[in-house]
Amino acid sequence: MLFSGNKLLILKMAWRNLWRHKRRTAITLFAMAIGLAFSIPTIGLMDGMYKQMVDGITKMHLGDLQIHQKDYPEEKGIRQVVPYKLISEIDKYEGVKAVAPRIYSGGMISSSKKIGSRIRGVDNFDQVKIVSGKMDGKNRCQVAVDEDTAAKYKLKPGNELILSPLPVTQACEKIIIGGIFKGRKLNYSLILMLKKEVRLIFASKEDVGDPLAEEGDDIDNFKKLEDVNGEEPGEPSVNDSDSNPEDSSKLKLGADQGKYTFVRNYSQPVGVSAVEPAREIKVSNMYKSIIRGKYLSTKWLTNTPESVKTQIIIGNKLAALLNVKVGDIVGMDAVTMANYPLDRLFKIKGIFKTGLDRLDRNVVYIHIGNGWDLQFIGLRNKENKMVHEFAVSLHKHGDNSMVAAHIRQDLDENLIVRIWQNIEPAMASIVATSNVMTNLILAIILIIAGFGTMNTMLMSVMERIKEFGVLKSIGMKPWFVATLILIETVFLTLGAILLGSSLGLLFQSWLIDHGIDLNALLPDGFTFQGVVIEPVWRAIFTWNGLLIPIYMLIFVSVVVALWPALRAARVKPVEAFRKQK
């Protein structure tokens, strides 16, 4: 049979026919290549987002899977525990990278700040320029605070201050801030109070008789207490005697004044996480979120100046609420194994920022030794240490279902193993849905490119009807004609793959190195279903991200070329000559 002995003939014909119309072939080739070039970095970007979401939810806290007492996930009972010694068994399973034990409790954390201040007595508050709050004059222990002091110590109307030490008369041991007044910049804290109350505060035991009976007595007859912090609040300016009712900083306030120390208490309910730092840093990325100070020390030391027993790390928003910094001392009570709270003083070792409000404002981390300490949380039974949770990190995220199944087979029936998809089903559903959407977008891009291929091949067939008629009249079989069209399509597709994959990988490499910077819109990133998404969106490279678009382009191109191939194969010589001039 003609052509049957020459296998290269059909390839030569296909290649020559493809370039008869160079411009049309080049346009089609470029359109297919652009579709592929966009598909590769699109998958890379979406894969990068999925990885960031999965890493965020597993490495921030959850781990790839968790082990609990079976009722703990629902009830969160302090006594629903798992033996710590189980950790050595979990470590041995294939695929397990690290295991982190955790103890949870709840409590109240508090801090105190001493305010070295100057008190000045006023006859009334009518001429004081109050910018926030209201001085009603009815509360005998109501004061006004200058706005700089209010900003520094986060004071607002309604807050309470405690006098330190308490006045001899025990008058106004707690004072209430009624208002914030505006004045010029001062180099000391200034508190305004009614004159008669100032006299009671500075009274000595000998003076307590009836300090209100002699309104005009010189305030110098009363003892003044030095600031306990050793800070001199500063002397009043001569301008303080100027008479300007519109400017409280220049208002004549009289001689009733003195120096005193006030205590401002801050408190906040928190969740307490006791962790084993050496293991926790292998499972969680929390240590990377430290913005000031350091993460918890890995060794349990109790007799050193920097005792791990008293170390704590807190979120930046909690630090702002407590008005504390690294190195400050805070007090915290926590629910214990005996179901009543015990308190302990802690020194702030570090301050973290995750971008998640529930962590940055409401969670603190301490060493797991505090959880086993019988003088604090006391989560132990005789010599057996107990924990509430094991968070397990795996070498591959995708293996969590398989590893969980293996662990579940060997565990006591009183324990439960959950993968992160079970713990956060909403996030798992979003990731799965996003994968479907990515594949759909990819298919649309490549189908559009495929239709361009079909249009090109159809035009080629219609222009060569007479040629096909001649070939079939001299013995060419229909399958040969169809194969010729398909090979032309394959050549076109291969060219598009070479050009498109080169452009796509080039663009993707730029997205890997630089990413799409969204800092202008989201300087701190954003949270999505409890996961912090970084403001720079980067792509990642995977072989699937390269090969899947290529396979889809080949498939779509061959499918859309079937119609032109069948159309050419069905050409009859007589009809072909009749239609051509």
Is there a domain that residue 116 lies in? yes
Is there a domain that residue 304 lies in? no
Q: Is the domain of 33 the same as that of 145?
A: no
Q: What is the DSSP letter of 62?
A: I
pLDDT at residue 521, as a whole number: 67
With 60 as the cut, is the pLDDT of residue 537 above it?
A: yes
Angstrom distance (rounded) from CA 103 to CA 108: 16
Angstrom distance (rounded) from CA 125 to CA 148: 19
Q: Is the domain of 477 the same as that of 569?
A: yes
With 50 as the cut, is the pLDDT of residue 412 above it?
A: yes
pLDDT at residue 417, as a whole number: 94
With 50 as the cut, is the pLDDT of residue 89 above it?
A: yes
Is there a domain that residue 454 lies in? yes
* Dihedral-angle region of residue 435 (phi above 0 means left; psi in -120 to 50 means alpha; beta otherwise): alpha
Q: Is the domain of 132 the same as that of 53?
A: no
Q: Which domain holds residue 519?
A: 7-61+427-579
User: Which residues contact residue 476 at a Cβ distance below 8 angstroms, ignoring those fewer than 6 apart?
Assistant: 2, 3
Give the pLDDT band (50/70/90) at residue 229: very low
Is there a domain that residue 273 lies in? no
Q: Is the domain of 151 the same as that of 48?
A: no
Residue type, 33: A
Q: What is the mean pLDDT of residues 479-501?
A: 85
Is there a domain that residue 68 lies in? no
Closest by CA position to 191, among listed 118, 101, 277: 118
Q: Is the domain of 435 the same as that of 561?
A: yes
pLDDT at residue 576, as a whole number: 58
Residue at which a domain ends, from 238, 266, 294: 266
Give tens-digit pLDDT for 41-56. Answer: 988 888 888 888 787 7
Q: Is the domain of 57 the same as that of 125?
A: no
With 60 as the cut, is the pLDDT of residue 168 above it?
A: yes
Q: Quickly tell me which residue has 């401002």 as its tokens.
A: 264
* Dihedral-angle region of residue 300 (phi above 0 means left; psi in -120 to 50 means alpha; beta otherwise): beta
Residue at which a domain ends, from 201, 236, 266: 266
> 3-state DSSP call for residue 428?
helix
pLDDT at residue 485, as a whole number: 81
pLDDT at residue 85, as a whole number: 92
pLDDT at residue 574, as a whole number: 62
Is this structure's pTM higher than 0.75? no
With 80 as the cut, is the pLDDT of residue 514 above it?
A: yes
- Tell which wins on pLDDT, 169 or 347: 347
Give tens-digit pLDDT for 448-466. Answer: 777 777 777 777 777 776 6
Count of CB atoms within 10 A of residue 438's CB? 19
Most confident of the following: 16-25, 198-207, 409-418, 464-473: 409-418
pLDDT at residue 7, as a whole number: 64
Angle between helices 425-463 and 478-513 (to 10 degrees): 140
- Tell which wins on pLDDT, 118 or 349: 349
Q: Is the domain of 127 the same as that of 262?
A: yes
Instruction: Round the average pLDDT of the chain to a whole number and report it.
Output: 79
Give tens-digit pLDDT for 326-342. Answer: 999 999 999 988 877 88
pLDDT at residue 538, as a whole number: 85
Pairing mode, strands 311-315 and 341-352: parallel
Specify whether the CB–CB gap between 362 and 318 falls below 8 A. yes
Tell me how many domains the chain contains: 2
Q: Is the domain of 440 the same as that of 542?
A: yes
CATH number, domain with residue 133: 2.40.40
Q: Is the domain of 124 the same as that of 57?
A: no
Tell me the percentage of the chain whose pLDDT exceeds 90. 25
Is there a domain that residue 41 lies in? yes
pLDDT at residue 530, as a whole number: 59
With 90 as the cut, is the pLDDT of residue 367 above it?
A: yes
Q: Is the domain of 574 the same as that of 436?
A: yes
Q: What is the mean pLDDT of residues 150-155?
A: 87
Is there a domain that residue 217 lies in? yes
Q: Is the domain of 438 the same as that of 541?
A: yes
Residue at which a domain ends, from 266, 301, 335: 266
Is there a domain that residue 89 lies in? no
Q: Is the domain of 233 the same as that of 143?
A: yes
Q: What is the mean pLDDT of residues 365-383?
A: 88
Give tens-digit pLDDT for 204-228. Answer: 555 544 433 343 333 333 333 233 3
Q: What is the mean pLDDT of residues 230-258?
A: 41
pLDDT at residue 223, as a whole number: 36
